[in-house]
């Protein structure tokens, strides 16, 4: 579980906080996207969870540890609980695929027997069985990212953080990577993914946490990039401050009095040959709809 309580992070020699009074809870086993424009604080949030940065104000709990009270000598134990994946893969260029993944276990002092068993299992999980002897430069970007994910997951951490893992990949490859993260999430690992990738976010129907210049402006269950189904908090467009979900809506072009217009749009959506198929879901689950529909049909919760 990851808990932020009124977290503010201001970097030295800057005036505006990179994160500004952010409170949120990501329960164990959840898959959450963190979205927002460049500079909105996504990477800062990840770095705080890893304790690569310290909060300026507020409190962070990660896997039962209160990070500002965590002594330096206990930071390695924290980081063993968190796998990390980055936009630029960060593989060791002179090591094979197998060695890259094995390295993560070697530094933890795992036995050779465990490495020989776990590394191939993990490579199979990420779809790279048979590629153990390849060097990173002999792999596509998507395959390199799969190696990086295998390395992050090989010791089965309870939390996986992915900071724009699809930033260097084409849309199809990106979807494959996010589906892989979804598979990892189904093993029980909490996954938090920072991204700009609207197509993927919209297709996955997962929780979407949105930052804007360091402020948490919306938090939606099964949301999409632009709107969502179950608002936890909303930004009041006039004042710029978070608004309770049960306060009146900001006008968004949706006409509550005339739902038929949207029902027609709903059918268009079904017929759209370019529409993405449902992914990461049970085959018999209903097809995801546009955010407007989902929001209208959803039960609103109060903010948390
Ligand atoms: N080490 C640092 N020192 C000073 N300022 C920093 C540092 N790291 C980030 N910032 C600032 O904090 C703010 C948030 O940056 P952050 O990297 O968290 O954003 P981001 O949402 O990850 O952006 P991007 O999408 O470009 O990766 C930015 O204004 C940035 O300039
Ligand atoms: Mg970033």
Task: Give the model confidence (pLDDT) of 113-157 as tens digits.
Answer: 999 999 999 999 999 999 999 999 999 999 999 999 999 999 999
Q: Are 144 and 88 in contact (CB under 8 A)?
A: no
Q: Which pLDDT does position 55 carry in this prediction?
A: 97
Whether the pLDDT of residue 284 is over 60: the answer is no
Q: Which pLDDT does position 163 carry in this prediction?
A: 98
Q: Which pLDDT does position 227 carry in this prediction?
A: 53
Q: Which atom of ligand 1 is nearest to the CA of 53?
A: 1
pTM for the predicted model, two decimal places: 0.78
Number of residues written out for the chain: 304
Q: Which atom of ligand 1 is nearest to the CA of 40?
A: 21
195 pocket-lining for ligand 1 (C-beta < 6 Å) = no
Q: Are 296 and 258 in contact (CB under 8 A)?
A: no
Rounded (5°) CA angle 126-130-131:
75
142 pocket-lining for ligand 1 (C-beta < 6 Å) = no
165 pocket-lining for ligand 1 (C-beta < 6 Å) = no
Mean pLDDT, rounded, for 31-59: 97
Contacts of 72 (CB under 8 A, 6+ apart): none
> Looking at ligand 1, which residue's alpha carbon is closest to its atom 26?
38
259 CA to centre of ligand 2 in angstroms: 39
44: helix, strand or coil: helix
Q: Which pLDDT does position 248 carry in this prediction?
A: 42
Mean pLDDT, rounded, for 255-265: 41
Whether the pLDDT of residue 161 is over 50: the answer is yes
**DSSP percent split of the chain into helix, strand, coil, nearest 5:** 35, 20, 45
97 CA to centre of ligand 2 in angstroms: 26
Whether the pLDDT of residue 299 is over 60: the answer is no
38 pocket-lining for ligand 1 (C-beta < 6 Å) = yes
Q: Which pLDDT does position 221 carry in this prediction?
A: 86
Nearest ligand, CA 34: 1
Q: Which pLDDT does position 301 carry in this prediction?
A: 38
Whether the pLDDT of residue 172 is over 60: the answer is yes
43 pocket-lining for ligand 1 (C-beta < 6 Å) = yes
Q: Are 146 and 101 in contact (CB under 8 A)?
A: no
How many other CB atoms are found less than 10 A from the CB of residue 119? 24
The environment of the single-atom ion ligand 2, i.e. residues with CB closer than 5 A, is 42-43
231 half-sphere exposure, CB direction, 13 A CA radius: 22
118 pocket-lining for ligand 1 (C-beta < 6 Å) = no
Q: Residue 56: name the closest of 2, 19, 14, 10 by CA.
A: 10
Whether the pLDDT of residue 278 is over 70: the answer is no
Q: Which pLDDT does position 150 carry in this prediction?
A: 98
Q: Residue 149: name the closest of 175, 178, 170 by CA.
A: 178
17 pocket-lining for ligand 1 (C-beta < 6 Å) = no
36 pocket-lining for ligand 1 (C-beta < 6 Å) = yes
Q: Which atom of ligand 1 is nearest to the CA of 45?
A: 18
What is the set of domains in the chain, with CATH numbers?
2-81+157-235 (3.40.50.300)
Mean pLDDT, rounded, for 153-179: 96
Q: Which atom of ligand 1 is nearest to the CA of 41?
A: 18
């Amino acid at each position: 579980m990851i808990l932020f309580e009124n977290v503010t992070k201001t970097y030295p020699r800057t005036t505006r906080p990179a994160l500004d009074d952010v409170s949120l809870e990501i329960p164990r086993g959840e898959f959450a996207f963190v979205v927002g424009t460049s500079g909105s604080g996504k990477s800062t949030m990840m770095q705080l969870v890893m304790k690569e940065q310290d909060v300026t104000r507020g409190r962070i709990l990660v896997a039962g540890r209160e990070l500002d009270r965590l002594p330096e000598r206990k930071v390695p134990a924290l980081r063993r609980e968190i796998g990390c994946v980055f936009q630029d893969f960060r593989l060791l260029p002179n090591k094979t695929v197998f060695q890259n993944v094995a390295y993560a276990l070697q530094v933890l002092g795992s036995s050779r027997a465990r490495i020989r068993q776990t590394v191939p299992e993990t490579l199979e999980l990420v779809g790279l069985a048979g590629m153990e002897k390849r060097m990173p430069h002999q792999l596509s970007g998507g395959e390199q990212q799969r190696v990086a994910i295998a390395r992050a997951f090989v010791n089965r951490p309870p939390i996986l953080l992915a900071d724009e893992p699809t930033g260097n990949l084409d849309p199809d490859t990106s979807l494959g990577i996010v589906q892989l993260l979804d598979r990892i999430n189904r093993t029980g690992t909490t996954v938090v993914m920072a991204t700009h990738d609207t197509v993927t976010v919209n297709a996955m129907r997962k929780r979407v946490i949105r930052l804007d210049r360091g402020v948490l402006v919306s938090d939606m269950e099964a949301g999409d990039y632009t709107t969502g189904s179950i608002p936890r908090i909303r930004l009041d467009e006039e004042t710029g401050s978070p608004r309770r979900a049960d306060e009146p809506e900001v006008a968004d072009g949706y006409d509550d009095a005339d739902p038929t217009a949207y029902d027609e749009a709903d059918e268009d959506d079904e017929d759209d040959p370019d529409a993405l198929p449902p992914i990461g879901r049970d085959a018999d689950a209903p097809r995801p709809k546009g955010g407007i529909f989902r929001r209208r049909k959803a039960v609103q919760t109060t903010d948390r």
